């Protein structure tokens, strides 16, 4: 499937590819792109299958998502680029390194969902199965704000960009719940080993509530050695919201923006 793309920056600049996480969308990278990455790069961020303005039909396997990304990049003329992936997007970078290692110039993993423990994945999938509809955008905003410590400016933008009328007088976020449940099941499966990444790698992990376990951090340190930079940032899993400045600064240094 060729995915819907969000783009920022000079179309003639070198590309950087940004992959979002479960239930998110490509425009989540807008602030990071406009304020930082687009100074040097053509920033390309697809809506993954089952999310945003891309097609929602199955299958929703990790392999299908990875092939979707490759097909989309081929159509966009991108054969080699740095990749930035948050959560599920980070796991997809690992999978892409197996399928097409030459595609990846550098890998920035933002609190990646390398492999989630089964009981955690089960709980997340069960939460997603509960239908979440809102009477108004204001209702969605206040509900989301009550459930997260992320700065309100990001929540307000998320509601503007990702909430849509459902045709029944209420509102819901623009993604397929069945796809999300399927992805949580897939994220329990073993990931490609750290040494799959034969390129410079940045791994940013959340100090408060993140998906990267200590043993995973140690495995990356041991396997990649000097090729990996591991950076802890304050806040929760959505590191480019909760620790925007710290995450953006780490990316600037890693990608050579500043």
Q: Give me the mean pLDDT over the 163-181 stretch.
A: 93
Burial level of 234, CB count in 10 A (0-12/13-18/19+)? exposed
Among candidates 192, 200, 184, which has minimal Cα distance to 253?
200
pLDDT attached to residue 15:
98
237 SS3 class: coil
What are the pLDDT digits (tens) for 216-241? 999 999 999 999 999 999 999 999 99
Question: Residue 101 above 70 pLDDT?
Answer: yes
Q: Do residues 112 and 212 touch, judged by C-beta distance below 8 A?
A: yes
Q: Give me the mean pLDDT over the 6-28 stretch.
A: 97
Question: Residue 38 above 60 pLDDT?
Answer: yes
DSSP labels for 127-184?
A: HHHS---BSSHHHHHHHHHHT--S-HHHHHHHHHHHEEE-SSSSEEESB-HHHHHHHH
Question: Residue 48 above 70 pLDDT?
Answer: yes
For all residues of the chain together, what is the average pLDDT? 95
Provide CB contacts within 8 A for 146, sequence distance 6+: none
Q: Give me the mean pLDDT over the 172-199 stretch.
A: 96
194 SS3 class: helix
pLDDT attached to residue 220:
97
pLDDT attached to residue 211:
93
pLDDT attached to residue 128:
86
Q: Give me the mean pLDDT over the 70-78 stretch.
A: 98
What are the pLDDT digits (tens) for 137-147? 999 888 888 77
User: Who has greater pLDDT, 191 or 166?
Assistant: 191
Q: Give me the mean pLDDT over the 57-73 stretch.
A: 98
Q: C-alpha angle with apex 130: 213 to 25, nearest 5 degrees?
A: 60
- Domain ranges (residues) in the chain: 5-115+191-255
Among candidates 197, 188, 175, 176, which has minimal Cα distance to 62?
188
For residue 175, which phi and psi values (nearest 5 degrees)? -155, 165
Res. 94 pLDDT band, cuts 50 70 90: very high
The two tokens of residue 9 are 């920056």
Burial level of 230, CB count in 10 A (0-12/13-18/19+)? middle
Least confident of 97-106, 124-133, 156-165, 197-206: 124-133
Among candidates 257, 118, 114, which has minimal Cα distance to 191?
114
pTM above 0.85, yes or no: yes
What kind of fold does domain 5-115+191-255 have according to CATH? Rossmann fold (3.40.50)
pLDDT attached to residue 256:
86
pLDDT attached to residue 54:
98
pLDDT attached to residue 258:
56
What are the pLDDT digits (tens) for 107-165? 999 999 999 999 999 999 998 887 788 888 999 888 888 778 888 889 999 999 999 99
Res. 257 pLDDT band, cuts 50 70 90: low
pLDDT attached to residue 151:
87
Provide CB contacts within 8 A for 160, sequence distance 6+: 137
């Amino acid at each position: 499937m060729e995915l819907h793309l969000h783009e920022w920056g000079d179309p003639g600049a070198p590309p950087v590819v940004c992959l979002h996480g479960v239930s998110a969308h490509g425009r989540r990278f807008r602030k990071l792109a406009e304020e930082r990455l687009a100074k040097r790069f053509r920033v390309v961020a697809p809506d993954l299958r089952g999310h945003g303005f891309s097609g929602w039909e199955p299958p929703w396997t990790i392999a299908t998502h990875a092939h979707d990304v490759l097909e989309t990049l081929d159509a966009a003329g991108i054969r080699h680029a740095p990749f930035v992936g948050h959560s599920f997007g980070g796991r997809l970078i690992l999978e892409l390194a197996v399928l097409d290692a030459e595609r990846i110039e550098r890998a920035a993993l933002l609190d990646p969902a390398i492999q989630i423990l089964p009981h955690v994945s089960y709980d997340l999938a069960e939460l997603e199965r509960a239908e979440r509809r809102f009477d108004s955008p204001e209702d969605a905003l206040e509900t989301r704000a009550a459930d997260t410590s992320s700065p309100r400016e990001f929540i307000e933008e998320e509601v503007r960009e990702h909430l849509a009328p459902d045709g029944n007088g209420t509102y819901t976020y623009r993604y397929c719940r069945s796809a999300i449940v399927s992805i949580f099941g897939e994220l329990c499966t073993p990931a490609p080993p750290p040494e799959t990444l034969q390129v410079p790698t940045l791994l940013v992990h959340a100090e408060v509530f993140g998906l990267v376990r200590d043993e995973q951090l140690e495995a990356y340190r041991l396997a990649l050695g000097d090729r990996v930079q591991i950076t802890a940032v304050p806040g929760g899993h959505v590191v480019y919201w909760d620790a925007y400045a710290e995450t953006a600064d780490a990316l600037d240094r890693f990608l050579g923006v500043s």
